[in-house]
Amino acid sequence: MATDYRSDIQDLEVAFVANERAARSLLDGLSEAHGVWRAEPDSWSVAQCLDHLATANRVYLEAMRPAAERALQQGRHRRGPAVPGLIGGWFVRTMEPPVKPRRKLKAPKKIVPRPSPPLRDSADQYFASQDQVRAFLQRYADIDLAGVRFVNPFVAVIRWSLATGLHVIAAHERRHLWQAWNVRAALESGGIHKPSS
């Protein structure tokens, strides 16, 4: 297999590894009390950001897995790189930090974080979801990720490619890790700052 044949898969793997490292760095030296601290009553804590990501990752994977498994069983091999299409690519870009006020989104009900999740549990759930995402990527790396579609778990009329789904997961993680870093920065500066969600 040529080195560049799976460079797109390697790029996704690198993105997920980078997100995991960012999360571990975020948690370094952060106490349980500080992990559940919120700048304002209606803003999220670091623990809630991680809880949200863990839940969102699981929901996306549950929506993507049946289509991926069918494609694997049907022998739908990759026909091109695992990159989003035009609209999917636009959506991925809207997820990327830094988040401008006009691009703030309200989390769909099924992935709203728990009101007061413990930091350690949220972190464990997030890292477990990362393992699941990377296992998905490796299992289905050779199917037509850009051509196989799944029903968006939040808007049933939208069907994304599996490639778009993977890129959405990576960008969504970057968005909320950035948010969590802002929470930690506000805590450490002693200031009151409401990070964008």
Residue 197 has pLDDT above 70, yes or no: no
Residue 30 lies in a domain: yes
Q: How far apart are CA 79 and CA 142, in angstroms?
A: 9
pLDDT of residue 3: 44
For residue 151, what are the domain limits? 3-189
pTM: 0.91
The pLDDT of residue 110: 92
Question: Residue 40 falls within a domain, yes or no?
Answer: yes
Q: Is 195 part of any domain?
A: no
The tens digit of pLDDT for each residue in 12-22 reads 999 999 999 99
| Residues contacting 57, CB < 8 A, separation 6+ | 126, 129, 130, 132, 133, 169, 173
Each residue's pLDDT tens digit, 23-64: 999 999 999 999 999 989 989 999 999 999 999 999 999 999
Q: What is the mean pLDDT of residues 169-192?
A: 91
89 has a pLDDT exceeding 50: yes
Per-residue pLDDT at 105: 73
Please report, for the domain that includes residue 132, its CATH number: 1.20.120.450
Report if residue 117 sits inside a domain.
Answer: yes
Q: Encode pLDDT of 92-147 as tens digits.
A: 999 999 987 666 778 889 999 999 999 999 999 999 999 999 999 999 999 999 99
Whether residue 113 lies inside any domain: the answer is yes
- Say whether pLDDT at 160 is over 90: yes
pLDDT value of residue 1: 41
The count of structural domains within the chain is 1
Residue 4 has pLDDT above 70, yes or no: no
Is residue 197 domain-resident? no
Query: pLDDT value at position 77?
Result: 95
Residue 31 lies in a domain: yes
User: What pLDDT is attached to residue 102?
Assistant: 65
